[in-house]
Structures are given as structure tokens and as C-alpha cells.
Amino acid sequence: MSVRMIGCSHRDAPIEVRERVALGHCQLTPALAAWQERFAAVEAVVLSTCNRVEFYLAADDAALPETDAVAAFLAAFHGLAPEEVLPHLRRKDGREAVSHLFRVAASLDSMVLGEAQILGQVKDAYERARQQDAVGPTLHGLFQAALRVARCVASQTELHQHRVSVPSVAVGEFARQIFDRFDDKNALVIGAGEMAEETVRYLREEGIRDLVVANRSAQRAETLAEHWNARAAPWNELARALAEADLVVSATGAGRPIVSAAEFSAVEAARAGRPLFILDLAVPRDFEPTIAQRPDVYLYSIDDLQSTCQTNRRHRDKELPKADRIVDAEVDRYLEESRHQTGGPIIRRLREVWQQPKEEELERLFRKLADLPEPARAEIRRSFDRLINKLLHPPLESLRNESRRGTSSALLEALAKLFQLKD
């Protein structure tokens, strides 16, 4: 079985593309079901976040979908033309795909280096695929290894020692360019997921006193607000909450903007020219981009954080070599274990096949030498075993060497054919 990753991320696709191919929480289950119907022989885990849409696939080489097949699938699911998707997808195979997943899970490929949310997103993607029977032995082992790597990086480096998140970097850098203090500002958080909760936590730590949470699910908004001693605003009063806010952070899973330019006009009229900072962390975006053209509105999307996050990365770069070494070692470990699991059945079957003629010859010999004492019989058995081990040593040593280089598949096939290992 071979492993392949096909997808796009903040590194190679702008937000305008990512928001069109993103799979929201409610879309992931039907998307995975549609994938299974089309590619039944392919194990699949789909990871869709604000920064990436990636398909992790495992199958025999002949069955693995190419990049254009994944582009066609995404295009059909979203009602797009394949040529709108294909140029933005990237493919990684084998070791490169394994290393990429390990780095993603360990938050080494995140926009904010060391942010913790991605690990939960990787777990959720794996669990969803497992529950839909889209995961087989290969991806099960791969994702279990990825979660182990993430824990190793977190415990053996200082990347996660000081909590870092997209909201903390964004609000800390961008909002401070507009406001010199936060304790006298009104803040509105739209959404009630992990990103929203991280935002609420950070705003409280920064001294925000008047904090409002709005979400389509009133219960989830009230639960989050109660936990952080904030207020919950009814969804149908979102415009009023926007009119009263100084700082807005939005991170919903909506499939289209929750605030259009036309809807914002009413909000703008009620604000009387007060400056409004909006951090739109959603993909697809929650605020129509043209709202940024309004006077006294400072609207930033997830992609506007790139330069700030690069600064954050430079501050934490000293821990990167250690994290990279951990990932590289774990990639070697995973691949070695995978090759052993692949070659193990062939080796066992080969030994079994050679045991049968050995036993037949011993039985024939002992019938002829019926008076042979037991110590002599035991010595003869040991001699036969040593002979078989010596005969097996060269092909098995060659197989181990090829496995270390990752090129054992052809030799395994040759051994199976040469010794007629049909099972």
C-alpha cells in the first residue's frame, strides 16, 4: 500500500481559492461518503481547516487517484470547473507525504508555528474517517504515528511552552495598531468553536471587560459566554452587537458570508464613525471583503496574518531544528515499521514453504535409520535447520537492505513469484 497527500494550504493557495474548496463541518460527512462511492478501494482521511484542504490517501499504486481526479472530485462537489481547482493542488507521495502529515500534526506547517488547535483538527479528521469506515490499516497506522509525533514535539521542545494561537497573534499585532488599550473596548466574538473559545480566552487575558458571544446555536453561545463570564447575544441581534462593538473576531463554519456589504450599511449608520476592527478567521470568510473599503473599518482575513506569523516564526525558530530532527526520526521509524509489516508475511511464508520439504526429508531419513538414537536425531534436525537458515540468509538480507532504502516492493514480488508463495 502506498500513501499520497493531495491538497492545498495557505502556503500555495490564496484564501479566495481555499474558501471555495473548503469542506465545512456539515459537508465533511457527505463529501467522504461521495468519495467512498467513487473510490471504494482507496483509504481516505480529509483534513479541512481555515488554512488547508488535504486528502490523505492509501491504496495500491494502480488504484491511487491522481491530482486531476481529486480536483475533479472537489470541483463536482462544490459546483466548480476542475480547471479552477487543479492549478492550486499539490501532491506528495511516500516519505514526503508521511513527513508532511507529521509536520502538520505537530504544528510545524501552521501559519502560527506551535499553535495547538491543529492537533485536534487532525484527530477529528481521522475519527470521522474511521467512523465512516474510510480508514484501513495503512492510514490507521499513519495517523496514530502522526498523533504520537505531535506529542513528542510538544513534550521535547519549547514550541508549545508558551501558548500561541492565531487569535493571539492577530489581535496582539493588528488590533494594537488601532487601539492602545483593550480594557475600555467592547469585543464581539462570532462563533462558538475551538477558535472562538481561544479568542475569548485571549481577549479576557488582554483585559477586555465587555465581551459578547454570538452564534447561530443560542445554547452554544450561552455555554461559552457563561464559562468566560461574558454575554450571549441572540443571532437575530447580530447587527446590533456589531454596531456596539469596537473589536470583532469571527470564526464560524458558515458556507457563505454572514455579513454582506449591504447588511453592513445599516450597522455603519448606527456606529457614527467609530473605528471598528474586524478579524475574520473563517474560511469561507464571514464578512464580505468589500466591507474593508468602508471608512473607519479595519477588516483582516486569515491570509493577512502571513507577515505577522513569519515574525512569530522567527522568534521560535531556535526550536525548529530540534522539532525537525524528531519528525525525521519518526518518519524513519514509521517507514521501517511499515516495510517490516509489508515484508513480514512474505518472510514467514517463505520459511513455512521451506519447512515442509525439510520435514519430509527428515521423516524419510529417520524411517531408513530406525535404530538411530535420539541425540543423533536431534543433531541431524539442527543440521537441517542450520542449512535452511544459511540458504535463506542471502535473500532475506537482500530484502532487509532493500527495505531500508524503501525499494523492497519489487524484490518482495520477485520472491513471491520465484518461490510460488501464492498466499
- Closest alpha carbon to 54 in 43, 46, 44: 46
Quick one: which of 333, 326, 332, 336 has its CA closest to 149? Answer: 326
pLDDT (tens digit per residue) in 297-308: 999 888 887 766
What count of residues does the chain have? 423
Confidence check: pLDDT of 247 > 80: yes
What is the pLDDT averaged over residues 66-83? Answer: 95
Of 142-146, 167-171, 193-197, which gets the smallest average pLDDT?
Answer: 167-171
pTM: 0.69
User: If pLDDT is split at 50, 70 and 90, which confidence band does 327 have?
Assistant: very high
Q: What is the DSSP letter of 258?
A: S
pLDDT band at 319 (very low <50, low <70, confident <90, very high): confident
pLDDT value for 341: 65
Decide: 339 and 170 in contact? Cβ < 8 Å. Answer: no
Residues 136 and 186: their CA atoms lie apart, in Å, by 49
Nearest C-alpha neighbor of 10 from the set 58, 53, 68, 69: 53
Burial class (CB in 10 A: 0-12, 13-18, 19+), 370: exposed
What pLDDT score was predicted for residue 405?
59
- Phi, psi at 357, each rounded to 5°: -65, -30
Q: Which residues pair with 2 in a beta bridge?
A: 59
Residues annotated as catalytic are 50
Q: Is the dihedral of CA 76, 78, 79, 85 positive or negative?
A: negative
Q: Which three cell numbers stand for residue 307?
A: 507577515
Structural domains of the chain, ranges and CATH numbers in brackets: 2-162 (3.30.460.30), 166-305 (3.40.50.720), 337-418 (no CATH)
Give CA–CA dist 36/420, Å, rounded.
34
pLDDT band for position 56 (50/70/90)? very high
* pLDDT for residue 340 is more than 80: no
Query: For residue 411, which amino acid is it?
Result: L
Average pLDDT, the chain: 86
pLDDT category of residue 406 using cuts at 50, 70 and 90: low
Q: What is the pLDDT of residue 295?
A: 85
Residue 211 has pLDDT above 60, yes or no: yes
